Amino acid sequence: MAHKEVIFGLYNDEQDLLKAVKKAKAGHMEIMDVFSPFPIHGLDPLLELEESRIHIAGFIYGMLGTLTAFLSMTWIFTKDWPIIFGGKPYWSVPAFIPITFELTVLFACVGMVVTFYIICGLGPGVTNPTLDDRISDDKFCLAFDKAYVNEADARALFSATGAAEVNSKNL
Amino acid sequence: MNQYTITNTLRTILFSMMGIGLLCLVLTWMGDDHSHTRFWSNVLHNSVFFTGIAIMATFFMAASITAYAGWYTAFKRVFESISAYLLPGFIIMTLIGVAVYMHMNHLYHWADDKSVATDEILKGKSSFLNKNWYLFGTIVIGAAYVFIAMKLRSLSVAEESAHGEENFATHRRIRTFAAMFLPIFGFTSVVLIWQWVMSVDAHWYSTMFAWYSLASLFVAMMCLVALILLYLRSKGYYQNLTKHHMHDVGKFIFGISVFWTYLWFSQFMLIWYANIGEETIYFKERYDNYPVLFFGNFVINFVLPFLVLMRNDTKWKNGSLSFVAIVVFLGHWLDFFLMVKPGVLHTAHEVGGHGAEHGATEAHGHAAEHVSSFVQGFTFPGLLELGTMLGFLGLFLFVMFNALSKTRLTSEKDPYVEESLHHHV
């Protein structure tokens, strides 16, 4: 991982953070990242983030689940081990529907979670450095990379927008 | 533009729709069998459908008010105006009830005294399925609904002109009435559906039926709301609504369509799985003689809204949302067609025409032989059915737009209106 020197401000309120992000955007300062314990309304369009494509992946996983369930039950109950249940035909589509539904949901959920973990580089044994532990609790963090943003500019912005703390960290 | 006025063009269109409907009803009456089965079943089908939509709009308002929902407040008047159709709707239902009471038609098998006397199942159900319950149940329940809907409406209008009011007193009264409506609706809506629709197949019952048809009505109501909003916005009204409001209306169409499908399928699967003759007859009839409607119903009421409205941008775009809303609205009208018509046709064969001269067993034989052939106006909706639907829709929309033009489109004093105007998904 490339070495990064990061300067970041911690805010107590998400509205202050939003103002700081707006100001940074107006001053053409390149924001490295924003951290928050919960999703902040209106932050995504401010940061010009693209809409996530994970739901497209979710749809494909869901379809995969539908096909898996339906085709496997079709094969099992007509070719592999045909059994008559309650006088119904071997290929009893209505009886397959609940399981098809369940597997669709299961594949879509598990697939999306795994995809999300892979995209974020998370997994067993992976440690991700955090700027500050409190950003998962009660602090809202705006971070700049010193390689792209002048440290004095960043400090000026933080003090102008009321950051509770300003810290630096090397990642 | 916060004040709606009906244009003369719209008034002409709505009145010609009513004219077409009336003409179709007269034509149906003239070309009908001697007990006018097609006429009465068309009236029942459309009357139940549009009254049900008004009931669901009232329910939606009551549930949203009770749940402190604010997003829809900017266009709450649309729901209030739809609920204004409750009064004409229940009047038409009462007229049908009177006709059933006077034995003027053969819509319901249980209303035929001769059949009830010889039929053990009908006899067993006769403490509920009888003409008194039908007529007076409709009147009493209808009166309660109309009273509460009118209260919700008039208080909401009064709220707008209230000055210097402390503590949202009017809104608190609205909330009381809304909360009162919910249990009343919960217990009585199923009774209405049982006696209006499910008892068409008097020998059959399903505990899921009321849920199923109410879900159908809810989707149809939301489709109408979407279409009305898109129409009003295209005419320059409701410019304070954003794509996020339409998004939520679209989500309701999508979500309740899925819920409808869940009930459609569950009702079918449990009966299919249990394989009890008395229960399967309902689906056997539709499966054998109405396959296009039966499966077409599933495609246009589930597959289409599910696939089209799944993405969020299709809920924002006027074209895709109105396309889905129109098709799904017609789809649920067909759904009610399929609930009403096969049973009425069966009853007509059992008690109408042949039943008078022949014994019950012989009439049964006739029924079996008639049912399998194509019957005009029953096996598939014909032009007269569509015309009748247009007529009822014209009346419905006229009542609705008329109520809408009575007061301002967005209530400025509602405590939730600011929240609604800033609604953001």
**A26: helix, strand or coil:** helix
Cα gap A167→A83, rounded to integer Å: 69
pLDDT at B115: 87
Measure B366 CA to nearest chain A CA, in Å.
Answer: 30
Q: How confident is the model at residue B353 (pLDDT cuts 50, 70, 90)?
A: low
Q: Between residues B115 and B389, which one has the greater pLDDT?
A: B389
Q: Look at B265 and A94 and tell me if their CB atoms are within 8 Å.
A: yes
Q: CA dist B291 to A155, B110, B338, Å? A: 72, 27, 10
**A80: helix, strand or coil:** helix
pLDDT at B360: 41
Q: How confident is the model at residue B99 (pLDDT cuts 50, 70, 90)?
A: very high
- B425, B247 contact by CB (below 8 A): yes
Q: Is A97's Cβ below 8 Å from some Cβ in B?
A: yes
Q: Look at A86 and B275 and tell me if their CB atoms are within 8 Å.
A: yes
Q: Which residues of A touch B310 (CB under 8 A)?
A: 59
Closest-CA residue to B194 (of B248, B128, B270): B128
As assigned by CATH, the class of the A5-37+138-170 domain is: alpha beta
Q: Between residues B161 and A13, which one has the greater pLDDT?
A: A13
DSSP H/E element including A110 = helix A93-119
Burial class (CB in 10 A: 0-12, 13-18, 19+), B328: buried
Q: Between residues A124 and B401, which one has the greater pLDDT?
A: B401
Of A14-28, B22-36, B161-175, the poorest mean pLDDT is in B161-175
Out of B265, B275, B310, name the one closest to residue A97 (CB).
B265
Cα gap B46→A89, rounded to integer Å: 39
Cα torsion B269, B275, B276, B281 to 10°: value is 70
Task: Please state the rounded mean pLDDT for residues B332-361.
Answer: 76
Q: Is A121's Cβ below 8 Å from some Cβ in B?
A: no
pLDDT at B425: 79
Task: Please state the rounded mean pLDDT for residues B242-265.
Answer: 95
User: Per residue in A139-159, pLDDT tens?
Assistant: 999 999 988 888 889 999 999
Q: CA dist B305 to A6, A105, B259, B261, Å? A: 48, 19, 12, 11
Measure B283 CA to nearest chain A CA, in Å.
Answer: 13
Task: Please state the rounded mean pLDDT for residues B411-424.
Answer: 89
pLDDT at A48: 86
For residue A101, the chain B residue with the least C-alpha distance is B262
DSSP H/E element including A170 = strand A165-170
The amino acid present at B179, given as its one-letter code, is A
CA quadruple B295, B297, B298, B299: dihedral positive or negative? Answer: positive
Of A119-128, B39-48, B195-204, B213-222, the poorest mean pLDDT is in A119-128
pLDDT at B405: 94
Interface probe, candidates A53, A54, A97, A102, chain B, greatest B C-beta count within 10 A? A97
pLDDT at B34: 79
> Residue B423 corresponds to which tokens in the numbers above?
């609604």
Q: What is the pTM assigned to this prediction?
A: 0.89
pLDDT at B349: 85
User: Per residue in A32-51, pLDDT tens?
Assistant: 989 999 998 888 888 888 88
Of A82-86, B50-54, B223-227, the poorest mean pLDDT is in A82-86
B375 pLDDT more than 60: yes
B370 pLDDT more than 70: no
- As a whole number of angstroms, the longest Cα–Cα distance in chain A is 81
Out of A41, A87, A88, name the one closest to residue B424 (CB).
A41
Task: Please state the rounded mean pLDDT for residues A2-8.
Answer: 84
> Residue B20 corresponds to which tokens in the numbers above?
């077409």
Q: Which residues of B touch A42 (CB under 8 A)?
A: 424
B354 pLDDT more than 80: no
pLDDT at B358: 39
Measure B269 CA to nearest chain A CA, in Å.
Answer: 6
Measure B224 CA to nearest chain A CA, in Å.
Answer: 29
Q: Which residues of B touch A41 (CB under 8 A)?
A: 424
Q: What is the distance, to the nearest Å, from the Cα of residue B141 to the centroid of all Cα atoms in its chain?
A: 16
pLDDT at B60: 97
Which of residues 72 through 91 in chain A touch B, CB cutoff 8 A?
Answer: 86-88
Q: How confident is the model at residue A125 (pLDDT cuts 50, 70, 90)?
A: confident
Q: CA dist B96 to A37, B103, B120, B147, B191, Å? A: 60, 10, 26, 21, 16
Task: Please state the rounded mean pLDDT for residues A109-116.
Answer: 96
**A58: helix, strand or coil:** helix
- The residue extents of the domains of chain A are 5-37+138-170, 54-120
User: Per residue in B300-310, pLDDT tens?
Assistant: 999 999 999 99
User: Per residue in A59-88, pLDDT tens?
Assistant: 999 999 999 999 999 999 999 999 998 889
User: Per residue in B128-159, pLDDT tens?
Assistant: 999 999 999 999 999 999 999 999 999 999 98
Q: How confident is the model at residue A2 (pLDDT cuts 50, 70, 90)?
A: low
B355 pLDDT more than 60: no
**% of chain B residues with pLDDT over 70:** 95
**A113: helix, strand or coil:** helix
pLDDT at B248: 95
Q: Look at A94 and B268 and tell me if their CB atoms are within 8 Å.
A: yes
